[in-house]
Amino acid sequence: MTEPVLIVEHLHKAFDSLQAVKDVSFRVNPGEIFGLLGPNGAGKTTTINMICSLLPADQGAITINNMPVSTHNSSLRQRMGVVPQDIALYEELNALDNLSFWGGLYGLSGEKLKSRQKELLSKVGLQDRAKEPVSRYSGGMKRRLNLAIGLLHDPDLLLLDEPTVGIDPQARHQMLDLIRAEANKGTAILYTTHYMDEAEQLCDRLAIMDHGQLLAMGSLSELETLVGERRILKIGGTFDQDWVNKLISTLSDVQLLTFDPAQITLSVPFDMAIGQILTVLQEQGLVVEHLDIKNPNLDSVFLKLTGREFKD
Ligand SMILES: Nc1ncnc2c1ncn2[C@@H]1O[C@H](COP(=O)(O)OP(=O)(O)OP(=O)(O)O)[C@@H](O)[C@H]1O
Ligand SMILES: [Mg+2]
């Protein structure tokens, strides 16, 4: 059995009275893309910052390649590539010089550095802009250069904190392909995102994080089984809470997930005829203004776990 590259056990972190990370544990294996999916403020960046030892943990243990992460362990840093959420580049330097600077910190020089620079700039599609100062780059181009820097020294563990925010669909597609190719070479990847579609598309396993805690963990299909063989119906109209509660109690095995006077969300068995539900609603005088039917996906998993909709 392969040993995990990263082991995180019972991690805790508080900022004053705010518990930003609560009892978080997970493992990332070689060649695996493990996702942390959660809304703003879930605790994703705080978790990553503890793993790369930018931030001390209050409690818990982190192990990389079987070695405990301590406040300063430079040999571990050598094995880790970090792409931070807040872009870390020297604006007045061009792409090549930024890569040289960071490469130097990782002990790369000479021909090796040169060939890595060339290879990575081409992979992130910046070869034509390599000699322009970064201050002239768009936000998306800076993100792409940030990723190239994270990959420069060919790390065993890559920590990516929302690397695709603000980049166009084509560049995003390229970036996701590049990340998958890195994993295929054996790199263990921790990928945080608040994009459900990215998590669904990219991650081999993922954890749903909310208010500092991991609510569920597994492959996409394992997580989807949490909602069971059910569909989610979003129905738009004009609703009264008592009326809806009464109505739900007359329908067997239908659950009300969210209520809003203009929209309700129901969880219904997979094999229930949706027409039957609509007929009941219409018989009660409701005008259905819109209807959205969802098969199990990460959205419905999040809704089931938190009682809230996941909003990007
Ligand atoms: N240095 C800090 N001091 C005080 N509070 C902090 C600090 N860093 C983070 N927090 C708080 O900790 C919580 C988790 O923040 P964190 O940045 O880890 O979330 P996140 O999941 O990365 O969110 P986002 O998707 O917005 O990047 C938030 O409530 C945040 O305000
Ligand atoms: Mg963050």
- Please state the pTM of the whole predicted model: 0.85
pLDDT at residue 1 greater than cutoff 70: no
pLDDT in tens, 53-106: 889 999 999 999 988 987 556 777 788 999 999 888 999 999 999 999 999 988
Percent of residues, the chain, with pLDDT higher than 90: 64
- Calculate how far, in angstroms, residue 41's C-alpha sits from the geometric centre of ligand 1: 5
Task: Report the phi/psi class of residue 20: left, alpha or beta, with left for phi > 0 and alpha for psi in -120 to 50.
Answer: alpha
Architecture (CATH level 2) of domain 6-219: 3-Layer(aba) Sandwich (3.40)
CA angle 186, 40, 197 (to 5 degrees): 50
Q: Outline which parts of the chain fall under CATH 3.30.70.250.
A: 229-295
**Residue 143's closest CA among 176, 114, 111?**
176
Fold held by 229-295: Alpha-Beta Plaits (3.30.70)
Contact 102, 120 (CB under 8 A): no
Q: Outline which parts of the chain fall under CATH 3.40.50.300.
A: 6-219
DSSP 202: H
Which of 21, 36, 37, 44 for a ligand 1 pocket mutation test, highest count of atoms within 8 Å of Cβ? 44
What is the number of the ligand closest to the CA of 194?
1
pLDDT at 226: 84
- Calculate how far, in angstroms, residue 200's C-alpha sits from the geometric centre of ligand 2: 19
Q: What is the mean pLDDT of residues 117-138?
A: 94
Which has more pLDDT, 274 or 61?
61
State both tokens at 191.
């990928």
Cα dist. 260→199, 225, 256 in Å? 28, 27, 11
Lowest mean pLDDT among 33-37, 76-80, 176-180: 76-80
Please list the alpha-helical segments (H only) found in the chain: 44-51, 74-78, 95-105, 110-123, 139-151, 169-184, 196-202, 220-224, 241-250, 274-283, 298-306
pLDDT at residue 312 greater than cutoff 80: no
Tell me the C-alpha distance between 141 and 126, whole Å: 8
Which has more pLDDT, 88 or 10?
10
Nearest residue by C-alpha to atom 18 in ligand 1: 43
- Calculate how far, in angstroms, residue 180's C-alpha sits from the geometric centre of ligand 2: 21
Which has more pLDDT, 280 or 137?
137
